[in-house]
């Protein structure tokens, strides 16, 4: 559930932009992400997650660019920029040795041998999912897909990534059977 809550800013952005308000969606998403960041920063047990910081910077930055530009970008193009940015943030968490999926595990689970590799792989799977989202958004922007097809693709890939993450983290740490002597 915490992993799904991490995507709340993106859900808020998607909802507002789908209604035709991409700048409002960007600002709303930045606000939701900032609230999540403030909540994490004020809790004694939690530390600030790279994903939260990256999300605030991403949405606030894109909102500022769109506002300063004075002309809205196409909704699908805005989504492609946001999805590409998130994919880069996720790859950065892996490169920094703090895969974002690890931050959503119980603290004791992060210490289990083999889990770090599982967190890296699941984080990279999410980065790949967001790369697919970018391709879908760009295809929608160029009228190569209908809105329905794009929605189905994004929901399908997102659900598959979520299920893969849950499956792989548990599978990735299961002790391997030893060969019989």
**Predicted structure pTM score:** 0.81
Determine contact, residues 103/49, Cβ cutoff 8 Å: yes
The secondary element (H helix, E strand) that includes residue 139 is: helix 115-141
> How many CB atoms are located within 10 Å of the residue 5 CB?
12
pLDDT 10s digits, 125-174: 999 999 999 999 999 999 999 999 999 999 999 999 999 988 888 775 55
- The DSSP call for residue 177 is P
Domain boundaries, the chain: 2-171
Model confidence over 50-105: pLDDT tens digits?
A: 888 899 999 999 999 999 988 878 888 888 999 999 999 999 999 998 898 888 77
């Amino acid at each position: 559930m915490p992993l799904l809550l991490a995507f709340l800013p993106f859900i808020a952005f998607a909802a507002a932009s789908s209604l035709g308000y991409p700048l409002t969606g960007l600002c709303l998403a930045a606000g939701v992400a900032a609230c999540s960041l403030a909540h994490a920063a004020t809790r004694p047990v939690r530390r600030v997650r790279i994903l939260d910081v990256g999300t605030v910077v991403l949405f606030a930055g894109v909102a500022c660019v769109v506002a300063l530009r004075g002309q809205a970008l196409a909704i699908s193009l805005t989504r492609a920029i946001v999805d590409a940015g998130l994919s880069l943030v996720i790859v950065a968490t892996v490169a920094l040795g703090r895969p974002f999926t690890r931050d959503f595990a119980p603290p004791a689970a992060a210490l289990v041998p083999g889990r770090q590799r599982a967190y890296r792989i699941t984080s990279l799977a999410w980065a790949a999912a967001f790369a697919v989202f970018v391709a879908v958004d760009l295809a929608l922007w160029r009228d190569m897909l209908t809105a329905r097809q794009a929605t189905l693709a994004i929901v399908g890939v997102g659900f598959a990534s979520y299920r893969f993450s849950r499956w792989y983290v548990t599978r990735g740490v299961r002790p391997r059977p030893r060969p019989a002597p």
